[in-house]
Structure 1
Amino acid sequence: MIQPTIAVFQHHPAEGVGRIELWAERRNITLECFYAPDELPASLMKYQGLIVLGGPMNVADNPLWMRAECALINQALELPRPILAICLGAQLLATQLGGKVVEMPEPELGWQQVSINGSQVLAVPQWHYQAIALPQHIDVLASSALCQVQMFRHQHAIGLQFHPEWDSKQMTQLQEHFADECPFSNTLPQNALHTEQQNQLEQFLFALLDQQFKSA
């Protein structure tokens, strides 16, 4: 049996796949990472799925590499291939579905609570200054007090505004790279609450990945 391969678009050296790598190892799935803007595949035909990670870029800038990446996201939508898009990735996905990205009155920084499907409340890492506005026909699956669209689904594509992939190692990398700008510097000690939050994030993310890439 051929081992499935999922393409990953990464936008910043400190924002890697995090705990997605552990999920892929356990499921015998290969992640092939491309570092935008310098590295993007010509096509997604040979991949069984696409993951688009976050980054500090602003969608409104729309440089040439971002347009090329959006063209690949569109290709994944049309083929079709399952997509998981996170933060910047979710914002790029939303624009290809007829949505837009708008400035927030105040940013979401650090650990925040989101409500999933109107019932489950999950503490998640947040670091964003813009929010997503979607057409009415797209399902919104999670929201927070400051941001109505925290998770959305359209057919075989899911967008997340928050970061369930950020494990403790990833947060340490963010803190080392961004120093005082990083909103997680006071959450790095491995206290019981932080460990429980990370465990819940892992369970949520692994279940989501299993569902999204079950046919990969």
Structure 2
Amino acid sequence: MSHRTLAVFQHHPAEGVGRIGLWAQHRNIKLVCFYAPDDLPKSLADYDGLILLGGPMNVADNPLWMQAELTLIQQALVLPKPILAICLGAQLLATQLGGQVVEMPEPELGWQDIRFNDASVLTVPQWHYQAITLPTSIDIVASSPRCPVQMFRHQHAIGLQFHPEWDTKQIEQLTEVFADECPITIGPHTEQYHPPVEQFLFELLDAQFGVN
């Protein structure tokens, strides 16, 4: 069994690891979570990979803690360490790969379809007001009508604009914390979407972090 240790950067109390925690438990992976606005490691040398979670912050604001996090993302790219970056994390990663984060005319909210390059479709939870643009050298793996970059890959780094880590409990927590603005609803009509999203995420994590 694997004894890998992954660093996780969390940006908001209500946006935790979700079903990534279940994957780690099944695969004997240790997750070391850092709450990025207050607490970041000095180096990633002792970790086998990096997971960047989402958050309500805007990359354009670039506070000091975000600058420190960007330095660590750059370190992970250079070392190199495998990276999985989600939503805000993907936007931060994109800036380190020569991309930009731009305001969307309309946000992408709730359960939405994304389309992969092989024409397969997955219904995923979305909640973002900005979108990513990337240099042409970086592979775009999935897109949606409103957001051309839903998943991208560059060498050992993967960015996701959507939230496959959000399980039912996580979405309930977000709905509670952001009651006035949270567009994600859970009901019998959305439960069917969870198993394919979980399968997608577990397969992605296994491949990205070298778990058999």
- TM-score, with length taken from structure 2: 0.97
TM-aligned CA deviation for residue 194 of structure 1:
2.0
- Aligned to 1:112, the other structure's residue is in SS state strand
TM-aligned CA deviation for residue 116 of structure 1:
1.2
Corresponding residue number in structure 2 for 1:214:
210
Quick check: 206-215 or 43-52, which moved more? Answer: 206-215
TM-aligned CA deviation for residue 54 of structure 1:
0.3
Aligned to 1:195, which of 187, 191, 198? 191
Question: Deviation digits for residues 159-198 of structure 1, max 9, x if unmatched?
Answer: 00000000000000001101131111xx322x1x422200
- Aligned to 1:180, the other structure's residue is in SS state coil
- On the 8 A contact 2:17/2:53 being kept in 1, the answer is yes
CA distance in 2, matches of 1:66, 1:45: 19
Corresponding residue number in structure 2 for 1:121:
121
TM-aligned CA deviation for residue 36 of structure 1:
1.2
Residue identity matched to 2:205: L
Q: What percentage of residue pairs aligned between the two structures are identical? A: 71
Corresponding residue number in structure 1 for 2:65:
65
Corresponding residue number in structure 2 for 1:82:
82
Residue identity matched to 1:51: I
Aligned length: 212
CA distance in 2, matches of 1:68, 1:167: 29
- On the 8 A contact 1:118/1:142 being kept in 2, the answer is no
Residue identity matched to 1:61: D
Residue identity matched to 1:188: I
Corresponding residue number in structure 1 for 2:179:
179
* Runs of at least 5 residues in structure 2 that lack an aligned partner in the other structure: none
- Aligned to 1:32, the other structure's residue is in SS state strand
Corresponding residue number in structure 2 for 1:106:
106
CA RMSD of aligned residues (A): 1.3
Residue identity matched to 1:23: W
- TM-score, with length taken from structure 1: 0.95
Q: 1:2 to 1:211 in 2, by over 3 A?
A: closer
CA distance in 1, matches of 2:19, 2:116: 20
**5 Å matches for 1:10-49?**
10-49=10-49
Question: Deviation digits for residues 3-38 of structure 1, max 9, x if unmatched?
Answer: 210000000000000000000000000000000111
